[in-house]
Chains A and B, each alone.
Chain A
């Protein structure tokens, strides 16, 4: 897969826009999901995930082909998400929760499972709660928790994606885990 990606990137660098389609198709779910987990709602997630792919395209010449493309893409998506979080108005969360449609949109996109409706509801509520708790972590802990436990990157990979020393990644993941432990221990 990395090989195909490398080929496509070469074509894109030469100016062949259509070669970019395959790259977007390949990573769209991962990047969208990452943005959703960073931002906690589908509208912003779609917005930022799209922006991430556009940024990557526009800046493709600055991508070093010896590195992993997916790491670079995750980095762009993470930075854009953190940027968006910082620009939010303080009352943003309240609004999003009152409307309550975000969660529904998201669950309608989920793959159907074989649980009973009651179990489904319970599970949905729990999931919503967990997502909410994750999305209230400070962004610098949140990005690492999401990359580690939801996207299953190694600490070394996270250090590359976020371009921060591995020691910092470890300190932050410890604090992130502790913060979430306090928030989720009574669940």
Chain B
């Protein structure tokens, strides 16, 4: 067997298309002389032919369906985007809705006046809205063109357009202790630019539209 080992190696190189011209000569010359190698070579070729004779089989019915059903749920965000993609009219409608009924530009541009969504229990000093100590605001609070100081508590969400939550203590000698020492339990959002404002508005609308 050892005597043929090198030739068997050459047979495999031949089957992989790796044989050089010289090796090809060596192998063919040996095959003419050696019956054992002839038999071996024949068996290898026959084996490959047998393997390749097996038939093609197809995937079972409903295979794709079953795969699709087993996939993890896709994110909701994508569904909304796809809905828009397939229905350009919806985009137009949503944009129209935002512009007309949201009236966002007019709200933004109206004036530089301070606007507060509610005033009960709040103190207003110039352009600063103060939640006094001991007061708890349960609803959401929306402020435009003004800053907020929280000494009491706000349980709802706070949105400030074109203003900010004053957290640092201003210099003592000016307006006294004007700093937020209370808490906001809801979400705090400040919107300083028109782009953010548009974004805020669109998100609100989309969330409303797709909350169903």
Contact = CB atoms under 8 A, between A and B. Distances in A.
Could you say which of B18, B47, B68, B72 has the most chain A C-beta atoms within 10 Å of its C-beta?
B47
Interface string B44-60: 10111011111111111
Interface residues of B, number: 36
Nearest to A17: B74
Contacts of B72: 57-58
Nearest to B40: A181
Given A54-B71, A177-B15, A46 B55 contact: no
Interface string B34-78: 000000100110111011111111111001101110111011011
B67 A50 contact: yes
A54 B43 contact: no
Contacts of A31: 59
Contacts of B54: 127, 130-131, 150
B67 A24 contact: yes
B71 A57 contact: yes
Contact of B12 (A18, A28, A134, A174): A174
DSSP class of A's interface residues: helix, strand, loop or mixed? helix
B79 to A, nearest CB: 9
Given A58-B72, A184-B46, A28 B64 contact: yes
B150 to A, nearest CB: 39
A181 B58 contact: no
B156 to A, nearest CB: 32
B208 interface: no
Interface stretch (A74-82, A90-98, A106-114): A106-114
B82 interface: yes
Interface in A16-52: 16-18, 20-21, 24-25, 28-29, 31-33, 36, 42, 46, 49-50
Interface string A129-142: 01100100000000
A159 B47 CA distance: 22
Contacts of A165: none
B120 interface: no
B113 interface: no
23 contacts: A15-B75, A28-B63, A29-B58, A29-B59, A32-B57, A33-B58, A42-B60, A49-B59, A57-B72, A106-B57, A109-B58, A110-B55, A111-B55, A130-B54, A134-B51, A145-B51, A149-B48, A150-B54, A180-B47, A181-B43, A184-B46, A184-B50, A185-B47
Interface of B: 9, 12, 15-16, 18, 40, 43-44, 46-48, 50-60, 63-64, 66-68, 70-72, 74-75, 77-78, 81-82
Nearest 8 A/B pairs, CB to CB:
A15-B78, A32-B59, A17-B74, A28-B59, A174-B12, A24-B64, A53-B67, A149-B51
Given A15-B78, A57-B72, 4 more contacts: A58-B72, A110-B57, A170-B18, A181-B44
